[in-house]
């Protein structure tokens, strides 16, 4: 029993000694892949969410009250300017017009009588054959009769206008929508919406830009004599490309002081009616950068608090831990990662344009950036990239 106990003690000592042996030093260099920055010409589009709008659109409101007695169009079709669309019950307005015409005839008769009396009293007044008061009254009666005729004329015109308003006509050529009223519905003047008419060829497309981009679009608007091919195009909701190019029509008069945004309006021909009012689409503006630009893989760009950074690799002389203090080889060359703030541009597939922050010829780290910080030691000795599975460069 004593022997077994001694053996257990010996084994424990040996195990403890084995655990106390130094572990081999871990490799502190982060394996990465590098991308050498080159400038090249690129084709891309700046994209803006947008909405289609009619150049002219009006809601039809009745000018008189009454029941709808006629509808004379097919919903969703083209209508012509002056085409009759709705009819409101005319009976009360026709009666009012007839009454106004009759009243005007009465006033005209009264005027004729007053004119005759005034002429007669004027003749008698010349010879002092009538009282001055009767002559004055005759003149006043004549003037009143003239005013009554003018009032009656105005009443006739008003009644005729109201009678005309009982018929609702198209104010311009366009497409009419779904009727908001049916036969027999009673409509209120200036309140009830009957329908909406809008133009659809050409069609407007509105989008919003930041005020910092305003000078660029002002230049594009002024440069009409040298338009860039496919400068303005739109992607429809199904991501298909609308086959006709557009042009700038209007830049809004003012910048929104709260948001710093301003609206741009493009105009696109719409001969086949593919565009309808209120559609969501994406405006693409062909880039106007004449020279080559720096493009890097998008996975090399890191976003932190709304700012963008990349890591570049540089050869740096560092102390050699294996060399003695007096050795001539106490310095060795090592790759070190340095973080750089960059200004990014458009994303083109898996790549991203870098507008400033790095220069052509620098080496950008594209794999392993999640493990890096400024000053990290790195290595490209790995045969397989840490994330992409590709060969190190």
Please give the pLDDT value at position 367: 84
Domain check: are 264 and 220 in the same one? yes
Q: Give the pLDDT of residue 95.
A: 94
Task: Name the domain boundary from 263, 286, 309.
Answer: 286
The CATH number for 364's domain is 2.40.420.20
Q: Tell me the per-residue pLDDT of 217-261, one tens digit each, with 9 for 90 and over.
A: 888 888 765 555 568 999 999 999 999 999 999 999 999 999 999
Which segments within 45-148 are labelled E, that is strand? 45-53, 57-60, 66-71, 78-79, 84-88
12 occurs within a structural domain: no
Average confidence (pLDDT) over 69-81: 94
- End-to-end Cα, the chain, rounded Å: 66
Asked if 126 and 228 sit in the same domain, the reply is no
Rounded mean pLDDT, 309-326: 72
pLDDT at residue 389, as a whole number: 42
Is 219 found in the same domain as 332? no
- Sequential DSSP letters for 342-384: EEEEEEETTEEEEEES--TT-EEEEESGGG--TT-EEE---SS
Same-domain status, 137 and 175: no
* Domain finish residue from 223, 251, 286: 286
Buried b / exposed e over 358-378, threshold 16 CB at 10 Å, is beeebbbbbbbbeebeeebeb
Torsion angle in degrees (nearest 10) through CA of 145, 146, 152, 155: -130
149: in domain = yes
Band of residue 209 on the pLDDT scale cut at 50, 70, 90: very high
In a domain, 340, yes or no: yes
- Is the same domain home to 98 and 155? yes
Q: What are phi and psi of 47, to 5 degrees?
A: -115, 140
Sheet with 232-235, strands from edge to edge, namely: 232-235, 280-286, 45-53, 203-210, 261-268, 247-251
Alpha-carbon gap, residue 341 to 339, rounded angstroms: 7
pLDDT confidence tier of residue 6, bands split at 50, 70 and 90: low
Quick check: 4 pLDDT over 60? Answer: no
Please check whether residues 70 and 147 belong to one and the same domain: no
The token pair that represents 50 in the structure block: 């947008």
The answer to whether residue 25 sits within a structural domain is: no
CATH code assigned at 265: 2.40.30.170
How many other β-carbons are positioned within 10 Å of the β-carbon of residue 138?
21
> Is residue 153 within a helix (H) or strand (E), and if so which, with residue range?
helix 132-165
Within this chain, do residues 171 and 160 fall inside the same structural domain, yes or no? no
pLDDT at 351: 86
pTM: 0.64
My answer on whether 81 and 94 are in the same domain is no
CA-CA distance, 3 to 9, in Å (whole number)?
10
Round to whole Å and give the CA distance between 253 and 214: 12
Q: Looking at the structure, do residues 78 and 173 belong to the same domain, yes or no? A: yes
Same domain, 369 and 257: no
**Using one digit for the tens of pLDDT, what is the confidence trace for 84-108?**
999 999 999 999 999 999 999 999 9
Comparing 63-72, 191-200, 331-340, 349-358, the range with the smallest average pLDDT is 331-340
| CA angle, 329 then 331 then 333, to 5° | 120
Q: What is the CATH number for 72?
A: 2.40.50.100
CA-to-CA separations, 100 to 65, 93, 281, in angstroms, rounded = 19, 10, 56
One domain for residues 173 and 81:
yes
Please indicate, yes or no, if residue 392 is contained in any of the structural domains.
no
pLDDT given for residue 153 in this prediction: 94
Rounded to the nearest angstrom, the gap between the alpha carbon of residue 90 and the centroid of all alpha carbons in its chain is: 44
Host H or E run for residue 142: helix 132-165
Q: How far apart are CA 275 and CA 257, in angstroms?
A: 32
Domain count within the chain: 4
Residue 311 lies in a domain: yes
The C-alpha atoms of residue 138 and residue 120 are separated, in whole angstroms, by 9
Which of 218, 252, 286 corresponds to the end of one domain?
A: 286
| pLDDT range class, residue 291, cuts 50, 70, 90 | confident
Tell me whether residue 22 is in a domain.
no
295 and 375 share one domain: yes
143: left (phi over 0), alpha (psi -120 to 50) or beta: alpha
User: What range does the domain containing 188 cover?
Assistant: 62-88+167-193
In a domain, 126, yes or no: yes
């Amino acid at each position: 029993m004593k022997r077994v106990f001694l053996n257990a003690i010996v084994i424990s000592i040996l195990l403890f000694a084995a655990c106390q042996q130094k572990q081999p030093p871990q490799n502190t260099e982060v394996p990465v892949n590098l991308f050498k920055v080159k400038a090249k010409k690129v084709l891309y589009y700046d994209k803006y969410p947008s909405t289609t709008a009619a150049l002219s659109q009006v809601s039809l409101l009745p000018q008189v009250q009454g029941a709808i007695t006629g509808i004379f169009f097919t919903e969703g079709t083209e209508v012509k300017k002056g085409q009759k669309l709705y009819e409101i019950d005319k009976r009360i307005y026709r009666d009012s017009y007839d009454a106004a015409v009759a009243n005007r005839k009465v006033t005209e008769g009264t005027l004729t009588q007053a004119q005759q009396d005034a002429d007669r009293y004027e003749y008698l007044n010349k010879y002092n054959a009538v009282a001055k008061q009767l002559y004055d009254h005759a003149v006043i009666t004549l003037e009143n009769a003239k005013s009554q005729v003018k009032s009656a004329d105005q009443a006739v015109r008003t009644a005729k206008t109201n009678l005309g308003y009982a018929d609702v006509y198209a104010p311009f050529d366009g497409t009419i929508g779904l009727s908001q009223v049916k036969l027999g519905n009673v409509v209120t003047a200036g309140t009830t919406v009957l329908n909406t008419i809008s133009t659809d060829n050409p069609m407007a497309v509105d989008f919003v830009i930041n005020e910092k981009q305003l000078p660029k679009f002002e230049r594009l608007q002024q440069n009409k004599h040298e338009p860039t091919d496919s400068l303005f195009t739109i992607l429809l909701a199904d991501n298909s490309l609308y086959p006709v190019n557009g042009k700038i029509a209007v830049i809004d008069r003012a910048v929104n002081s709260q948001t710093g945004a301003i609206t741009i309006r493009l105009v696109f021909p719409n001969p086949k009616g593919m565009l309808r009012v209120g559609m969501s689409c994406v405006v693409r503006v062909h880039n106007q950068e004449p020279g080559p630009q720096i493009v890097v893989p998008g996975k090399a760009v890191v976003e932190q608090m709304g700012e963008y950074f990349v890591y570049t690799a540089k050869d740096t002389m560092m102390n050699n831990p294996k060399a003695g203090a007096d050795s001539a080889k106490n310095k060795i060359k090592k790759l070190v990662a340095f973080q750089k703030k960059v200004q990014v541009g458009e994303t083109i597939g898996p790549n991203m344009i870098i507008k400033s922050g790095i220069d052509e010829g620098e080496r950008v780290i594209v794999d392993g950036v999640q493990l890096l910080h400024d000053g990290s030691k790195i290595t490209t000795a790995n045969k397989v990239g840490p994330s992409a599975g590709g060969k190190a460069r």
